[in-house]
Chain A
Amino acid sequence: MARVVGCICTSHAPEIADAMTRGVQSEPHWAPFFSAYPPVRAWLEKIRPDAAVVFYNDHGLNFFLDNMPMFAIGAAVEYRHEDEGRGIPALGSYPGHPGLSWHIMESLVGEEFDPASCQKMLVDHAFAIPMRLLWPDSGLAPPPVVPIAINTVQHPLPSTRRCYKLGQAVGRAIESYSEDLKVAVIGTGGLSHQVEDTHASAVGRGFDQLCMRKLVDDPHALLHYSIEDLMETAGPEGVELILWIAARGAMTGAVRELHSHYQAPIGNRAAGLLVLEPVRGARAS
């Protein structure tokens, strides 16, 4: 049977791709950010996941207001990043895992979730930047992926609680997949930020760090926040926390923190990285 071998929550700011393209990762502004990733890559090289399920939000590359699913599951053989019209370089293509995609689809619908299925799906920077950070060209090839897009564009958005439950259902789906796969679960985006604010005044260091702590051992504490609460506390685009909450939900047992890094500001926002792994033999309360 498949199992979840870890959960990685990471920022996906477009500026990260820009910094990688310009090769300025070791400059003072960026060095602390990029130096947080090698330990995670070393961990990934050790555990070598066979697949990755990625919760992210599309910023208008694949989905538009004419068809805006609340939850959409990729079921493609391959996913491509393309021109987003905002200067982000093309970040390549990623192999899919249609078998796992369709199993997750079956399992979710069995649990009364009704996501859209996408056999053709472009993935934007929110998917591709974390993949590049975790599996850069110079290292191991990324494993086959199952992208799961959650709507953060068109309100109403799904609640923190709904996203956590979705994550839990995805975790159960993975663990009921018949192939013996090691699956990494990734949540991208966050933390506090406001896209139209170039001075990072929306960064809420205290709230971000609270969220990172609670995600480890008390995720339920975050489910009391409404979408409106998040917008007010973490900035309008701080609602991307729901993607981290969904990824955390997929860890069905007890977890321990393997790695954590927080830095603010990076560009106009805070940047966070959190890696959790299951505690073998323990179950969640």
Chain B
Amino acid sequence: MFDGELAQKGYALNRMCFSLNSAENRAALRCDEDGYCNRFGLSGPQRDAVRRRDVRAMLAAGGNIYYLVKLCGAIGMRQDTGTGESAKSTDEFYANVLAAGAH
């Protein structure tokens, strides 16, 4: 349950996800993921979870599913940039979402 404790713990990660409502920010994330995460002050475990596309770890680090789906959308949009790795990343992300089960 996403209660006050998790909301405090996950604030930076969720704030980064919330910023991805903007197409400009999604482009910035795709362009320099490390730099983008640093801007939002993600904790070590949060940064690591994002790097590994590990949704279970994101949830454990205070991520909220309503905000994490925006990160999923941002990753999904790689398909439009023709980098070739996009579909795999998206599938992996969804597989992780599924594997994460209940939160």
Contact = CB atoms under 8 A, between A and B. Distances in A.
Contact of A198 (B22, B76, B97): B97
B70 A60 contact: yes
A231 B102 CA distance: 10
Contacts of B22: 83, 85
A59 B14 CA distance: 12
Contacts of B72: 86
Q: Is the interface of B mostly helix, strand, loop or mixed?
A: helix
Contacts of A22: none
Interface in B14-37: 14-15, 17-18, 20-23, 26
A156 B4 CA distance: 8
Nearest to A86: B73
Interface residues of B, number: 34
A155 B1 contact: yes
Contacts, number: 73
Contact of A199 (B55, B66, B98): B98
B84 to A, nearest CB: 20
Contacts of B21: 60-61, 82-85
Given A85-B74, A86-B72, A236-B102, A231 B1 contact: yes
Interface in A139-169: 153-156
A65 B73 contact: no
B55 A60 contact: no
B87 interface: no
B11 A156 contact: no
B60 interface: no
B76 A87 contact: yes
A195 B94 contact: no
Contacts of B98: 196-199
Q: Which of B18, B72, B74 has the most CB of A within 10 A?
A: B18
Interface string A189-216: 0000011111100000000000000000
Q: Is the interface of A mostly helix, strand, loop or mixed?
A: loop
Given A82-B21, A198-B94, A65 B69 contact: no
Contacts of B3: 155-156
A84 B98 CA distance: 22
Contacts of B94: 198
A43 interface: no
Q: Which of A196, A199, A231 has the most CB of B within 10 A?
A: A196
B65 interface: yes
B67 interface: yes
Contact of B18 (A64, A154, A196): A64
Contacts of A197: 98, 101
A60 B66 contact: yes
Contacts of B77: 87
A86 B100 CA distance: 19
Nearest to A199: B98
10 contacts: A59-B66, A60-B21, A60-B70, A83-B23, A84-B73, A85-B26, A153-B2, A155-B1, A155-B4, A231-B1
Interface of A: 59-61, 64-66, 82-87, 153-156, 194-199, 228, 231, 236-237
Interface of B: 1-4, 7, 11, 14-15, 17-18, 20-23, 26, 55, 64-67, 69-70, 72-74, 76-77, 94, 97-98, 100-103
